[in-house]
């Protein structure tokens, strides 16, 4: 399996196809694009039938071996077995071990319309990011140990990626983590989960700005190729291909658990900000998984909903980005969106480069086909199964109350966005699976507002906000960020 950049010029020898291990530790390609397989591996009906009986770890191995063909299968199997265990992914609501890593729960059954919640928050930081990040930590350690190398991870988080990355990388030999987050824009629980880590290889940096400022800093540093090489910079943001492909696994798991035969289809609704989670669903669908719809659920920062309704991709400036009660989706420039656009425009890298140059210079592009637009590919979006919807603060409160009253489950704010939008797209005979984002305890301020009581906390998280916190506050300035990294790596 080889990988190509979404912006690769075919005549450029330095941008020849890469293997999985070649791109594992990095994020952006040298040309500023994102990596994708040269072609998507296909899954047969016979494979789907066989996979219905597998554990999550074994299913992960079967899927990942299609993408990581340069890692010996015996080693890859050990890595998935090490990662996806009942010790790591517990039934966190009860504090018990559970072999069912991503269980499904039927929420609503209206005739032949079914709404299902897929639990993805059983990992150590109570968010779906653990599903990929724990594997990434083990892959990084495995790869670095083979070469006796070091890696300085430089990433950005709007809330959950940071803690998932830090918990996955803490104590890993040869790895340091420099994690950016928007200063005072996360929930108190999210901030405490990250900033309370005292490990010497963890560096938390609160940036004066919004998440998009953090993300822009990561891209700017990654695009400074001499600095990136000298400081051994890698990334764990969702632009990292290994993270995306690890997320593909739970789409297969959800489908196989919700169906009994391969003629059946399901749909997925995914709370979406940076387009990484739902991009994994797109890849699963391209591999042949029988997905009917992929529904992107946004909050008030509705750049993705606007595109899937109109064909116009219009990023917002920092001042136009709302600080909402589903803060992990307070994103107005979706980094992984470029991967989908690459497929949408027929894998034309020159066109992708031109469109995203326009994003950088003019703030967006228009594929609606209307006079003066940048193209007419929007008409092809339906071929990929995408739909979208938007949820507001009031919608979140109402949905949290509904689900608590009807099903005795307290959901987090992002999952509430997903359920609200999913209800618009439920279809007869096609189960709608909503991907859970996090446990409600991570967003207690809004749960208290909605229900009048605190969200239940899993064992071990009772008093996390009172722990000592270690972080620095820096401006959104590339030079100062590079100076801070250099000062703390000694390279």
pLDDT tens digits for range 244-303: 999 999 999 999 999 999 999 999 999 999 999 999 999 999 999 999 999 999 999 999
Whether the CA torsion 139, 142, 146, 149 is positive or negative: it is positive
Smallest Cα–Cα separation from 256: which of 431, 41, 133, 79? 431
Which residue, chain included where needed, has tokens 């594997």?
Answer: 135
pLDDT, residue 400, reads: 98
How do residues 174-222 score in pLDDT, each as one tens digit?
899 999 999 999 888 989 999 999 999 999 999 999 988 998 999 899 8
SS3 121: coil
Note whether 169 and 444 are within 8 A (CB): no
Q: For the chain, what percentages of helix, strand and coil (3-state, to nearest 5) are there?
A: 45, 20, 40
pTM: 0.92
Per the DSSP assignment, residues forming a β-bridge with 411 are 439
**Average pLDDT over the chain, rounded to whole?**
93
Sequence-distant (6+) residues with CB within 8 A of 11 are none
Residue 9: pLDDT over 80 = no
How many other C-beta atoms are found inside a 10 Å radius of the C-beta of residue 69? 16
Burial string for 10-20 (b: 16+ CB within 10 Å, else e) reads eeeeebeebeb
Report the length, in residues, of the chain: 491
CA distances from 377 to 6, 353, 380, 383 (A): 17, 16, 5, 11
How do residues 411-458 score in pLDDT, each as one tens digit?
999 999 999 999 999 999 999 999 999 999 999 999 999 999 999 988
Distance CA 199, CA 219 (A): 26
Q: How do strand 35-37 and strand 3-5 relate by DSSP bridges?
A: antiparallel
Rg of the chain (C-alpha set): 21
Residue 171: pLDDT over 90 = no
Distance CA 182, CA 475 (A): 10
Q: Please state the three-class secondary structure of 160-174 as a single string.
A: HHHHHHHHHHCCCCC
Q: Where in the sequence numbering do the catalytic residues fall?
A: 129
Residue 99: pLDDT over 80 = no
Distance CA 275, CA 317 (A): 18
How do residues 104-152 score in pLDDT, each as one tens digit?
999 999 889 999 999 999 999 999 999 999 999 999 999 999 888 899 9
pLDDT, residue 215, reads: 87
Sequence-distant (6+) residues with CB within 8 A of 64 are 76, 80, 245, 246, 249
DSSP-H helix ranges across 170-223: 188-195, 211-223
Q: What is the token pair recorded at 175? A: 């790895």
Q: How do strand 151-156 and strand 291-298 relate by DSSP bridges?
A: unpaired
Whether the CA torsion 122, 126, 132, 136 is positive or negative: it is negative
Distance CA 322, CA 336 (A): 20
pLDDT, residue 14, reads: 47
How many other C-beta atoms are found inside a 10 Å radius of the C-beta of residue 339? 25
pLDDT, residue 437, reads: 96
pLDDT, residue 392, reads: 98
Q: Reading across the β-sheet that carries 151-156, which strands appear in turn? A: 233-234, 151-156, 175-182, 202-208, 472-475
Q: What is the token pair recorded at 12? A: 């450029």
Smallest Cα–Cα separation from 318: which of 458, 216, 218? 216
SS3 214: helix
DSSP state of 439: B
């Amino acid at each position: 399996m080889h990988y190509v950049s979404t912006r690769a010029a075919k005549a450029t020898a330095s941008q020849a196809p890469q293997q999985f291990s070649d791109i594992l530790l990095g994020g952006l390609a040298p040309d500023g694009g994102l990596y994708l397989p040269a072609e998507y591996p296909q899954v047969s009906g016979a494979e789907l039938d066989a996979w219905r009986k597998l554990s999550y770890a074994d299913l992960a191995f079967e899927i990942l071996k299609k993408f990581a063909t340069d890692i010996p299968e015996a080693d890859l199997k050990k890595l998935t077995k090490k990662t996806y265990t009942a010790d790591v992914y517990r039934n966190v609501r009860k504090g018990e071990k559970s072999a069912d890593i991503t269980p499904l729960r039927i929420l609503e059954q209206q005739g032949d319309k079914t709404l299902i919640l897929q639990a993805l928050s059983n990992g150590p930081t109570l968010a779906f990011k653990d599903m990929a990040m724990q594997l990434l930590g083990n892959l990084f350690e495995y790869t670095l140990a083979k070469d006796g190398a070091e890696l300085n991870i430089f990433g950005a988080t709007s809330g959950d990626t940071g803690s998932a990355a830090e918990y996955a990388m803490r104590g890993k030999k040869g790895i340091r983590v420099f994690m950016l987050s928007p200063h005072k824009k996360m929930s108190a629980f999210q901030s405490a989960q990250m900033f309370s880590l005292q490990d010497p290889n963890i560096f938390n940096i609160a940036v004066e700005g919004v998440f998009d400022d953090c993300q822009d800093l990561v891209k700017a540093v990654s695009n400074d190729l001499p600095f990136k090489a000298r400081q051994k910079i890698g990334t764990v943001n969702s632009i990292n291909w290994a993270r995306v492909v690890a997320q593909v696994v739970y789409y297969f798991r959800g489908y196989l658990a919700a169906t009994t035969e391969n003629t059946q289809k399901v749909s997925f609704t995914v709370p979406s900000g940076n387009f990484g989670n739902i991009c994994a669903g797109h890849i699963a669908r391209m591999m042949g998984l029988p997905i009917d719809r992929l529904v992107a659920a946004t909050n008030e920062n509705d750049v993705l909903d606007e595109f899937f309704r109109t064909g116009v991709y219009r990023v917002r400036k920092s001042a136009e980005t709302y600080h909402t009660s589903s803060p992990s989706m307070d994103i107005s420039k979706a980094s992984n969106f470029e991967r989908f656009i690459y497929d949408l425009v027929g894998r034309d890298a020159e066109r992708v480069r031109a469109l995203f140059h326009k994003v950088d210079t003019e703030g967006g592009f228009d594929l609606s086909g209307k006079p003066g637009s940048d193209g007419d590919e929007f008409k092809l979006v339906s071929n990929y199964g995408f739909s979208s919807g938007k949820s507001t603060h009031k919608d979140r409160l109402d949905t949290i109350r509904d689900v608590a009253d009807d099903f005795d489950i307290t959901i987090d704010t992002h999952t509430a966005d997903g359920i609200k939008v999913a209800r618009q797209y439920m279809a007869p005979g096609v189960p709608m699976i909503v991907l859970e984002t996090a446990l409600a305890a991570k967003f207690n301020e809004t749960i208290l507002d909605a229900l009048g009581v605190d969200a239940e906390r899993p064992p071990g998280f009772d008093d996390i906000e009172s722990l000592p916190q270690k972080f620095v506050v820096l401006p959104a300035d590339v030079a100062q960020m590079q100076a801070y990294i250099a000062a703390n790596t000694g390279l």
